[in-house]
């Protein structure tokens, strides 16, 4: 007998499982089995390289239909279109460096890449390769581009590799991959549908004179990733940002410059928001009397008198309405978890996302981040270094249950 519906989170879902030609292809056999056990209808697609490591007949036996390996199929003249349109999700495990490069460049030279370009379903890629390939700038750039397009990434693990050495590049475990597919499908189904989400992003600029300002190095990448993720989950999103960056279709963008501008925009929008995510790096201080003209060097060194800006998050918290979920960010250089907990208590928040901006790969303007999520219920979750869109997914995975508990 099959597992009961309660144990089949993917019941009724159609999954295209792409398998590339890497040594980790043998692990995709277990991924296929677990997807089927979770209730999914699995259509395996193997590249020519994959068949050098695993047999198509294995996936035909374990999947929900025969494995496909070619664009040219007498039974279906357009298999990539058929697969792409029918899929609820496409997952590629393992995803090789070649596949990531071809997908990022829009090259469709086999059935799998053609299916990836032909689908409008969410896509999950699970990279696996040797450490040097994983760390190569071309691979990182291709992956960052795919993430910006909304592709979900299950990062590789660290451990023993095929060459006998150790490093990062091992395919993520089957449980982790199936969990990621399940989470993506929850998002595609719209777990924030009907919710209004307000996100702030970027660093404010506080004028000293007509040309100079006090600012910080925040790029707005994490805030924009949060806004895009909320939109992908069905939310109506308002993004208050200082950054001149693209946003997902449907996101209402309000561009601001100073802390005062952001305060005005946030307080105007927060009353109607179900979720407020304050990811912006807002200046704590500003020049008290900025000059209307440029200060001339010949005039000597100016006396710069600073005054405090409004604590926008504290103001939002003080005026929050019942059921509203508030998320703060704590950019620190030490004792991140302790600082996040202190901020959570002081401002009566539901969740604080703490990160060490001095850590390699997790500082300002990077495409990756590593954070700790501290909840008001005492939970603490560490998200290791990964793409900022993946961090955004983790944040909203934590936020969604909060919205359900506060209808």
Cite the active site residues.
Answer: 216
What distance in Å separates the CA atoms of residue 372 and residue 12, rounded to the nearest whole number?
A: 34
Distance spanning both ends of the chain, measured CA to CA: 38
What distance in Å separates the CA atoms of residue 399 and residue 407, rounded to the nearest whole number?
A: 13
Cα torsion 244, 245, 250, 252: sign: negative
What distance in Å separates the CA atoms of residue 209 and residue 344, rounded to the nearest whole number?
A: 35
What distance in Å separates the CA atoms of residue 227 and residue 208, rounded to the nearest whole number?
A: 31
What distance in Å separates the CA atoms of residue 169 and residue 280, rounded to the nearest whole number?
A: 33
242 with 405: CB under 8 angstroms?
A: no
In this structure, the dihedral spanned by the alpha carbons of residues 358, 361, 362 and 365, taken in order and rounded to 10 degrees, is 100
Give the rounded distance of the alpha carbon of 203 from its chain centre: 20
Provide the β-strand partners of residue 197: 237, 275
Q: Which residue has the tokens 């030490």?
A: 334
364 with 217: CB under 8 angstroms?
A: yes
Per DSSP, which regions of 134-260 are E strands?
A: 152-153, 157-160, 166-170, 196-201, 206-207, 213-214, 236-241, 252-255
Task: Please list, in sequence order, all residues whose beta carbon lies within 8 angstroms of the beta carbon of residue 244, skipping any fewer than 6 positions away.
Answer: 255
């Amino acid at each position: 007998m099959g597992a009961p519906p309660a144990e089949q989170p993917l019941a009724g879902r159609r999954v295209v499982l792409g398998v590339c030609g890497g040594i980790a292809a043998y692990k995709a056999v277990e991924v296929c089995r677990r997807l089927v056990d979770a209730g999914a209808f699995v259509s395996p697609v193997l590249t020519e390289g994959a068949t050098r490591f695993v047999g198509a007949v294995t996936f035909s036996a374990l999947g929900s239909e025969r494995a496909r390996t070619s664009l040219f199929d007498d039974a279906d003249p357009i298999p990539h279109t058929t697969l792409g349109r029918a899929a609820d999700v496409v997952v590629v495990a393992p995803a090789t460096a070649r596949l990531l490069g071809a997908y990022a460049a829009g090259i469709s030279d086999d059935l799998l890449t053609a299916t990836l370009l032909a689908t409008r379903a969410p896509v999950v890629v699970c990279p696996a390769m040797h450490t040097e390939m994983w760390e190569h700038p071309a691979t990182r750039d291709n992956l960052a581009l795919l993430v910006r397009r909304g592709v979900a990434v299950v990062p590789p693990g660290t451990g023993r590799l095929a060459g006998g050495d150790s490093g990062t590049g091992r395919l993520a475990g089957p449980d982790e991959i199936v969990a990621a597919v399940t989470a993506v499908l929850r998002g595609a189904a719209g777990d924030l549908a009907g919710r209004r989400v307000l996100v702030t992003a970027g660093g404010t600029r506080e004028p000293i004179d007509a040309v100079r300002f006090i600012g910080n190095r925040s790029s707005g990448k994490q805030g924009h990733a949060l806004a895009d993720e909320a939109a992908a989950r069905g939310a109506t999103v308002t993004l208050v940002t200082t950054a001149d960056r693209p946003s997902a279709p449907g996101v209402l963008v309000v561009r601001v410059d100073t802390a005062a501008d952001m305060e005005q925009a946030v307080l105007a929008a927060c009353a109607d928001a179900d979720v407020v995510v304050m990811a912006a790096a807002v200046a704590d201080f500003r020049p008290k009397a900025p000059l209307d003209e440029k200060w001339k060097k010949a005039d000597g060194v100016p006396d710069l008198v600073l005054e405090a800006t409004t604590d926008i998050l504290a103001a939002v918290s003080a005026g929050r309405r019942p059921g509203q979920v508030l998320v703060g960010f704590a950019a620190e250089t030490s004792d991140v978890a302790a600082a996040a907990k202190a901020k959570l208590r002081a401002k009566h928040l539901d969740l604080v996302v703490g990160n060490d901006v001095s850590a390699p790969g997790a500082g300002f303007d990077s495409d990756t981040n590593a954070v700790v999520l501290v909840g008001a219920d005492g939970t603490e979750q560490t998200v290791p270094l990964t793409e900022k869109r993946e961090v955004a997914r983790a944040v909203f995975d934590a936020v969604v249950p909060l919205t359900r508990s506060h209808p």
